[in-house]
Amino acid sequence: MAPPEVIPGLLPTTGQLLIAGETDVGKSLVALEIASALLSHAPLWGALTVSPGARKALYVLGEHHTSILQGLWAKTGLPAPPKSLWVVGPHEFPDHHLVTRGIPQVLVSAQLREWAQGCQLVIYDPLASFCRGENIENDNAQMRLLLDTMTGIANDAGAACIVLTHAGKPRRGEDGQPAPREEYRVRGASAIEDAASAVFYMEKGVDGFYRLQRRKYKGTQEPKTYTLIRDPATLRHTLVTNLHDAKRLDFLQRYAYLRTLMTPTDALRTAMEATGVPRSTADRWVASPIGRP
């Protein structure tokens, strides 16, 4: 029997959750929200139950300075006990390549294994920054080795594993226009998705909502999409369960944020223009708190 999931339908206890998306779509935000939910034992996005008992999480950055992620964490105001989230980046961990030209780097792996001890979650951001070599991202054998090594470090410590990765460029259709990939959207080797336990694609829709679309989950789950709305002030997400309520929440969050930048009248007008909400509806929503008709 498979062990209980850390977050049913999203984060498995063993293996890894792979989140793929374009730069700046919000993959790191989602990873921080998952970490916060586990460490604070609060529902993820206000709706998803998490497995209790997490005391420590490790976030390993392969590209950016730790101060960038710390600034993002501070802006979101996500809850977590003191010293429960440990962040390391290239400045603290300069030799962070787990695979170099097809060869596992034992000392790098040993250092991460030491840091992962006592953690219930390990996050790697992004995948490609932990390997080094010519055209290695497109090498199935090397990328499979890299993903297995990262996952083994986390799982051997008793931790769940999240790996963030970039999406590949859209293919070109017969008309020469970009055509979205229906599968294998991860940049680089197809073995990355084939080897992963759970794969979700993250993207921003034309309606302004953010979506985590399940590509695979243990190979047997039905397709699932998590639709999220992002607060422009805190950058935190809320799970959308009702489209009408989501539209109202989106409008009110925008309005509240804009009021910190301009007069209430200008904020109302700007929020209406951004969301397409008519004046009569906007006035009613502003007068009625969320949860009231």
First to last CA, the chain: 45
CB neighbour burial string for 269-292, b if at least 16 within 10 angstroms, e if fewer: ebbbeebebeeeebeebbeeeeee
Give pLDDT, residue 7. 93
Element of type H or E holding 59: strand 57-61
Give pLDDT, residue 1. 47
Q: Encoding tokens for residue 40?
A: 């604070």
Percent of all residues in the chain with a pLDDT value above 70, rounded to a whole number = 89
CB neighbours (10 Å) of residue 144? 17
Backbone angles phi, psi at 274, to 5 degrees: -70, -30
Element of type H or E holding 179: strand 178-179
Residue-wise pLDDT tens for the chain (293 aa)? 456 799 999 999 999 999 999 999 999 999 999 999 999 999 999 999 999 888 999 999 999 899 999 999 999 999 999 999 999 999 888 889 999 999 999 999 999 999 999 999 999 999 999 999 988 999 999 999 999 999 999 999 999 999 999 998 765 555 555 555 567 889 999 999 999 999 999 998 877 789 999 998 865 566 688 989 898 889 999 998 776 677 787 888 888 889 889 999 999 999 899 888 899 999 988 887 554 33
For 19, half-sphere exposure in the C-beta direction (CA atoms, 13 angstrom radius) is 28
Euclidean distance between CA atoms 239 and 210, whole angstroms:
10
Q: Which residues have a Cβ under 8 Å from the Cβ of 266 and sit 6 or more positions away?
A: 258
Give pLDDT, residue 181. 59
Asked if 143 and 192 count as a contact pair (C-beta separation under 8 A), the reply is yes
Q: Which residues have a Cβ under 8 Å from the Cβ of 197 and sit 6 or more positions away?
A: 12, 14, 15, 16, 17, 217, 218
Asked if 270 and 253 count as a contact pair (C-beta separation under 8 A), the reply is no
Euclidean distance between CA atoms 148 and 146, whole angstroms:
5
Q: Which residues have a Cβ under 8 Å from the Cβ of 95 and sit 6 or more positions away?
A: 105, 107, 108
Give pLDDT, residue 217. 84
Residue the block writes with tokens 């921003």: 204
pLDDT tens-digit profile of 4-30?
799 999 999 999 999 999 999 999 999
pTM of the complete model: 0.83
